[in-house]
């Protein structure tokens, strides 16, 4: 009588598993920073687009009312008395959105350095007056 053949069960060795883990770690080290950088760039682009939309709406408000709005909310909600307000100047929204980092856009009337107004996002750190601020006066002409 012949002996039944033993089934040999082959498993991954510890070395093979470690090699796969190291390869995955190297790939993650390359991919993750690129993804994070793309997300940061997308948020900056969104803030720039919002600020340009606000600037255009402020220009329209000024054409109608003869002055810049006292607040960004005036671009959506008519003042009292209504006067020549012909808004809303920002379409399809019922409130002023937050910047991409979850902070309110900063709007000051009058602006600094002789500007009629200042409009900016405090940027990723949420602190006004730091180097990562996204300011409308730096976007003019772009």
Per-residue pLDDT in tens (0 to 9) along the chain, 142 residues:
566 667 777 788 899 999 999 999 999 999 888 888 888 899 999 999 999 999 999 999 999 999 999 999 999 998 888 889 898 999 888 899 999 999 999 999 998 888 999 999 999 999 998 888 998 877 765 5
Residue whose pair of structure tokens reads 């409130």 in the numeric block = 95
Q: State the pLDDT at residue 118.
A: 93
Q: What is the pLDDT of residue 3?
A: 67
Match domain 15-138 to its CATH number in 3.30.700.10, 3.40.50.970, 3.40.1710.10, 3.40.309.10. 3.30.700.10
Question: Is residue 6 a contact partner of residue 60, using CB atoms and an 8 Å limit?
Answer: no
Predicted pLDDT at 1: 57
pLDDT at 13: 87
Q: What strands lie across the sheet with 134-135, from one edge to the other?
A: 106-108, 118-121, 134-135
Which residues, 6 or more positions from 134, have their beta carbon under 8 angstroms from its beta carbon? 44, 47, 48, 51, 99, 120, 121, 123
With H, G, I as helix, E, B as strand and everything else as coil, classify residue 75.
helix
Q: What is the pLDDT of residue 141?
A: 55
The pLDDT of residue 142: 54
DSSP of 13-29: -HHHHHHHHHHHHHHHH
Residue with token string 């500007």? 115
């Amino acid at each position: 009588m012949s002996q039944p053949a033993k089934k040999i069960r082959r498993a991954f060795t510890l070395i093979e598993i470690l090699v796969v883990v190291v390869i995955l770690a190297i790939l993650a080290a390359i991919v993750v920073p690129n993804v994070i950088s793309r997300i940061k760039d997308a948020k900056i682009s969104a803030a720039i687009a919002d600020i340009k939309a606000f600037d255009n709406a402020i220009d329209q408000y000024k054409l109608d009312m003869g002055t810049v709005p006292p607040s960004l909310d005036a671009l959506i909600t008519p003042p009292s008395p209504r006067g020549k307000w012909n808004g809303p100047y920002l379409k399809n929204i019922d409130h002023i959105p937050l910047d991409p980092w979850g902070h309110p856009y900063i709007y000051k009337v009058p602006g600094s350095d002789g500007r009629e107004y200042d409009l900016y996002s405090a940027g990723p750190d949420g602190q006004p007056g730091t180097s990562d601020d996204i300011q409308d006066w730096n976007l003019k002409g772009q």
